[in-house]
Amino acid sequence: MGKHPERRCLIMSAEMRPIPFGKLINWMKTEYQKDQSIFGIHVNKFYKNTSGKMIEMFGDKISSPVGPAAGPNSQLAQNIVAAYLAGARFMELKTVQIMDGEELAACIPRPCINVEDEGYNVEWSTELKVVEARDEYVKAWFAIHVVAKELGISDIRDFIFNISVGYTLEGIKTPKIDGFISDMLDASDTEIWKECKQFLLENIDVFDNVSIKDIENIEKSISPSITISTMHGCPPEEINSIVEHLVTVKGMHTYVKCNPTLLGYDYARNTLDKLGYDYLSFDDHHFNDDLQWKDAIPMFTHLQKLAKENGLVFGLKLTNTFPVQIKRDELPGEEMYMSGRALFPLSISLAQKLTEAFDGEMPLSYSGGADALNIETIFETGIRPVTVCTTILKPGGYERLKQMAEICEPLLDGGIKKISIDKLTTIVEGLPTSKYNQKYIREIGSRKSGSELPLFDCFKSPCNADDVGCPIEQQIPEYLKLVSEGKYKEAFDVISIDNAAPAITGTICDHQCQSACTRVDYEESLSIRDVKKVAVLAAQDNFIKETEIKELKTAKKVAVIGAGVGGTATALFLRRNGVHVDVFEKRDKPMGVVTYIIPEFRIATEMIERDYNLAVAAGVNFNFNVAADFDVNELKKDYDYVVIAIGSWLKGYNPLNTGKELALESLDFLEKSKDSNLSLDLGKHVVVVGGGDVSMDCARSAIRTAGVEDVTLIYRRIRQVMPATTEEFNEAIEDGVVIKFLTSPIEYDGKTLTCVKNELVNNKAKSTDETFTMECDTIINAIGTKVDKSAYERNNIELNEWGYPQINNKNETSLENVYVAGDGKAGAKTIVKAVADAKLIAIDVLDKLGLSNDFVRAIVLENQDALYDKKGTLQERLEAKFDGLRCLTCDQVCDICSDVCPNRANISINVDSDLFDQKQQIIHVDGMCNECGNCGTFCPHSGRPYKDKITLFWTEHDFVDSTNVGFLPLSENQFKVRDEKGNIFNYTIGDKTVSEEVATIIDAVVNEYSYLMM
């Protein structure tokens, strides 16, 4: 991970407690026997090379070229074992240096990892003392030998360890680091070696397939190879001296980790900008201070020759992380180190450049944004090994390694190969067009929701959670599964429960569900909207034909003002639950904005009609061409409830100082454009002002209009804060729309538009003195709309400070039994939010009438084994009717905090109790946690599992140092407990002093998971 030459040390308490070797082995064996998993790696994710193909590194054969990069996934013994089980065979152990233990750990701010998309860290080298790090590596060495043989993974050692040290020759030559290196070359005289060996020999009878001979034959040389990590700014003479020392004195195969700064500032800046990472902030000082190309090539040439003369291998590790400034509070501090998919274009470009310089003869070890989507092309170049970090810190965690190992297995072909410059060049030249290298393939930043992380029962499907995903809480995993099985009728039945506009939302919904989808953290979201459309096209027409009008269950009646999506949906929900509804619409067609404004190329008329027919079939009575001046008091003479759904149709803010009257307003333009079938006379040059989805509709309609040569959309801020969805933005770009950011219009005379350039200050656009002009025959203002508040004022409905109707949490206004739905509530929002308003209102009205509602939950369960098969596997989108096969069904099995914890500190345990809705509960083990914060990044709730989940403590010190709800074992049946209210007391099993839930968790740990207690 990153390296920090200067850092102010902080006070912190996140000490990890290494697991004694005997307990480590007991944990592994017991968990495997009980749950068919080890350290959370499920047996179906254990990797076994079945082809017999190998590659050779440093005289050893390994069955996979994949492994964890030196970092959080190779720090503790359990981390390394977990990596091995999942497919890692090249273990690049976490870096050690003279500064270690508490001294170093206190210098690392918390959280220290953020891999929400591209990775960032403010980590350093191992947080353990060097001798503890050595012990962890020895324990892992023994444990892997044993587990590989016991489980039939491999009869021979098919893995290697590679140590990493830093950062200066002086430090490396100290007794502490020199002793560490010597112990890794021959660990047989260390106490930990003797302890591990003795334990295994004394407990050989607990194994079925491991013999005394197997233990005796474990090789004492743990790592004959080493990777050198140096500080930024380390002079070439220092690097040269370190390698010479390690080659000639220590006799080690040596790789030098290179920095991406070798590419030069201009190349790095331009490359990242083109791929959408223009927001990354860095200057040229590291590029100027770090190793320079002119010094690097002759030095590497010399060192390769020196190693060869000594019968050793010298190579380069590509690359270190990339330093960028902290500008958006990603992590504490001022500078952080970037990894993951944003690093890939730099690392692979440096590989190409170095391969060209050495004609493919310089061995390269790769780490820089590798994952299952690109590892095949990387490995095919001849680069080996490939280590990873960021990808296995994401959901799926270590289990992602299996897929990478399986991809590479057919390509394994012996020793170190000459690297292909042609294949590397192909990768580099393809960067601009490869979608997974583009920043904006990811449609959202964080997927976290606003929901509080509960102490228990925390599994959640973000896609159908109204606080982050679907506002109507559609049963998405259920209908995805049904569609993928070809059960379209059943799928539509599920969709129709919560969705009164399935055809419309199946076509043009802004699909927040997809932004919240866990697959976003794998590769890309499920195509949820398209899957819905499959069901709509296959089953909605028959559903309508078979719909029977429900008998009225009450004499009460409801009037709905407005037949837009919100009004129509409210009417449908109420009528199908036995309530008479009349809808009054001033226009001659239903569905409002969708019918009159949204372009035909986005949604066909027949799709809109499908949803209208859904309401008609249910018995909703529509009245069109009704006068718009409705009177609530008059309506209440005939109706018991009134729902106002009048939309947001007034023109919004116009930013022009002069020429306002010459601008077309967005809704007027879109309606006329649609009515004329895209045949308006707009001239040659069109400018659209705005940054939302409506502005994109305007631009895309304009560019389709005959006679228009170019369309420019200008937006006052930057891409990262643009309200338009990524999908809408990309479609506009594909249509040929030019988008100018940090630009505002100020004057327009009918032919020339004068604009001012902005700068972003505290996320707000601030005008500069720089202006420019554009040819402009038509300007379209698409900066929002306003609600006509006069309709509310006329009916004595109270307004809030923003001029919108004052409503309660059921959308009821200040007038009893008068509700507001859709855009008329608080301005233009989304179609699906209008349906959500309808559902909310319908439920409240039905409650008042004493009627039940039909918003039932469907039960469509996925097989548990099938769920675990999907976890950790990256898979590109499938055809819509099959894409549901990629669904991870997060409400059934989440375990994300367990997946992403490098130390395995969040553990999913089975608790069979009626107290809980979910059988699996998450318990946090404090002694394994260093508060890196990674679980907090990916938990779909707002909380942080390492702070908010019930916690098992191993020491009194750790218990006192924490505020977590949790327990510390004092004896077999006594515990110190901190309860949900923060009270601390001693608890004996059977007492009634703790909540039933906490008592049940403690019982489960004692009776079923005692190996978790140290």
Contacts of 762 (CB under 8 A, 6+ apart): none
Can you read off the two tokens belonging to residue 59? 């005289």
Q: Is the CA virtual torsion 54, 55, 56, 57 positive or negative?
A: negative
Examine the domain organization and report whether 375 and 421 are in the same domain: yes
Q: How far apart are CA 291 and CA 273, in angstroms?
A: 24
pLDDT, tens only, 119-145: 999 998 999 999 999 999 999 999 999
Is residue 438 helix, strand or coil? coil
Asked whether 511 and 529 are in contact (CB, 8 A), the reply is yes
Asked whether 134 and 77 are in contact (CB, 8 A), the reply is no
Can you read off the two tokens belonging to residue 18? 């290494």
Asked whether 950 and 923 are in contact (CB, 8 A), the reply is yes
Other beta carbons less than 10 A from residue 287's beta carbon: 22
Q: Is the CA virtual torsion 801, 802, 804, 810 positive or negative?
A: negative
Local confidence band at 625 (pLDDT 50, 70, 90 cut-offs):
very high
pLDDT, tens only, 829-864: 999 999 999 999 999 999 999 999 999 999 999 998
Q: How far apart are CA 191 and CA 306, in angstroms?
A: 35
Q: Specify the pairing of strand 253-258 against strand 225-228.
A: parallel
Q: How far apart are CA 390 and CA 123, in angstroms?
A: 13
Is residue 272 helix, strand or coil? helix
Q: Specify the pairing of strand 650-651 against strand 785-786.
A: antiparallel
When pLDDT is averaged across residues 436-449 and rounded to a whole number, the result is: 90
Examine the domain organization and report whether 508 and 606 are in the same domain: no
Indicate whether 778 belongs to any domain.
Answer: yes
Looking at this protein, which amino acid is placed at residue 728?
E
Asked whether 928 and 969 are in contact (CB, 8 A), the reply is no
Asked whether 143 and 25 are in contact (CB, 8 A), the reply is yes
Local confidence band at 235 (pLDDT 50, 70, 90 cut-offs):
very high
Indicate whether 42 belongs to any domain.
Answer: no
Question: Longest C-alpha distance within the chain, in Å?
Answer: 101
Examine the domain organization and report whether 278 and 426 are in the same domain: yes
Q: Give me the residue label for tokens 């680069």.
A: 383
Can you read off the two tokens belonging to residue 677? 């079938």
Q: How far apart are CA 424 and CA 418, in angstroms?
A: 12
- Position 4 scores a pLDDT of 42
Question: By CB neighbour count within 10 A (0-12 exposed, 13-18 middle, 19+ buried), where does 824 fall?
Answer: buried
> What are the angstrom distances between the C-alpha of 720 and each of 280, 715, 760, 809, 838?
12, 12, 11, 32, 32
Indicate whether 46 belongs to any domain.
Answer: no
Asked whether 524 and 447 are in contact (CB, 8 A), the reply is no
Q: How far apart are CA 137 and CA 932, in angstroms?
A: 21
How many domains is the chain built from? Answer: 5
Q: Which residues pair with 557 in a beta bridge?
A: 580
Q: Which residues pair with 253 in a beta bridge?
A: 225
- Position 12 scores a pLDDT of 38
Per DSSP, 261 falls in state G
DSSP string, 922-991: EEEEGGG-----HHHHH-SSSS-HHHHS-EE-S-HHHHHT---SEEEE-SSSEEEEE-TTS-EEEEETT-
Examine the domain organization and report whether 336 and 216 are in the same domain: yes
Can you read off the two tokens belonging to residue 980? 């949900």
Q: How far apart are CA 386 and CA 789, in angstroms?
A: 62
**How many residues would you count in the chain?**
1014
Quote the domain boundaries for residue 665.
650-786
Examine the domain organization and report whether 796 and 781 are in the same domain: no
Q: Specify the pairing of strand 37-38 against strand 41-42.
A: antiparallel
- Residue 932: HSE in the Cβ half-sphere, 13 Å Cα cutoff: 31
Indicate whether 457 belongs to any domain.
Answer: no
How far does Cα 989 stand from its chain's mean position?
A: 40
Mean pLDDT of the chain: 96
When pLDDT is averaged across residues 309-338 and rounded to a whole number, the result is: 97
Q: How far apart are CA 799 and CA 986, in angstroms?
A: 55
Examine the domain organization and report whether 195 and 274 are in the same domain: yes
- Position 5 scores a pLDDT of 39
pLDDT, tens only, 756-803: 999 988 889 999 989 999 999 999 999 999 999 999 999 999 999 999
Examine the domain organization and report whether 427 and 504 are in the same domain: no
Examine the domain organization and report whether 370 and 437 are in the same domain: yes
- Sheet with strand 743-748: strands edge to edge: 743-748, 752-761, 764-775
Indicate whether 344 belongs to any domain.
Answer: yes
Write the CATH number for 702.
Answer: 3.50.50.60
Q: How far apart are CA 641 and CA 248, in angstroms?
A: 89
Indicate whether 18 belongs to any domain.
Answer: no
- Position 443 scores a pLDDT of 80
When pLDDT is averaged across residues 236-259 and rounded to a whole number, the result is: 98
Q: Which residues pair with 987 in a beta bridge?
A: 975
Q: Is the CA virtual torsion 831, 835, 840, 842 positive or negative?
A: positive
Q: Is the CA virtual torsion 349, 354, 357, 359 positive or negative?
A: negative
Q: How far apart are CA 225 and CA 660, in angstroms?
A: 71
Other beta carbons less than 10 A from residue 310's beta carbon: 15
Per DSSP, 716 falls in state S
Examine the domain organization and report whether 639 and 702 are in the same domain: no
Q: Rounded to 5 degrees, what are φ and ψ at 120?
A: -135, 145
- Position 14 scores a pLDDT of 77
Question: By CB neighbour count within 10 A (0-12 exposed, 13-18 middle, 19+ buried), where does 789 fall?
Answer: middle
Long-range CB contacts for residues 724-732, cutoff 8 Å, separation at least 24: 724/691, 724/692, 724/693, 724/695, 724/696, 725/443, 725/510, 725/693, 726/440, 726/442, 726/443, 727/443, 727/511, 728/693, 728/696, 728/697, 729/440, 729/696, 730/440, 731/696, 731/700, 732/696, 732/699, 732/700
Is the bond leading into 390 cis (omega within 30 degrees of zero)? Answer: no
Local confidence band at 375 (pLDDT 50, 70, 90 cut-offs):
very high
Per DSSP, 86 falls in state H
Local confidence band at 467 (pLDDT 50, 70, 90 cut-offs):
confident
6 pLDDT above the threshold of 50: no
Examine the domain organization and report whether 487 and 539 are in the same domain: yes
- Position 779 scores a pLDDT of 99
Examine the domain organization and report whether 121 and 201 are in the same domain: yes
Q: How far apart are CA 1000 and CA 997, in angstroms?
A: 5
pLDDT, tens only, 634-662: 999 999 999 999 999 999 999 999 999 99
Indicate whether 371 belongs to any domain.
Answer: yes
When pLDDT is averaged across residues 4-15 and rounded to a whole number, the result is: 48
Indicate whether 72 belongs to any domain.
Answer: yes
Is residue 999 helix, strand or coil? helix
Of 343, 459, 455, the residue nearest 888 (C-alpha)? 459
How far does Cα 225 stand from its chain's mean position?
A: 35
pLDDT, tens only, 884-921: 999 999 999 999 999 999 999 999 999 999 999 999 99
Ramachandran region, residue 979 (left: φ > 0; alpha: ψ -120 to 50; beta: rest)? beta
Q: How far apart are CA 523 and CA 513, in angstroms?
A: 15
For the chain, percent of residues with pLDDT exceeding 70: 99
- Identify the domain boundary among 766, 786, 806: 786
Write the CATH number for 259.
Answer: 3.20.20.70
- For the whole model, what pTM was predicted? 0.95
- Position 8 scores a pLDDT of 40
Of 166, 108, 144, the residue nearest 28 (C-alpha)? 144
Asked whether 989 and 1001 are in contact (CB, 8 A), the reply is no
Examine the domain organization and report whether 374 and 256 are in the same domain: yes
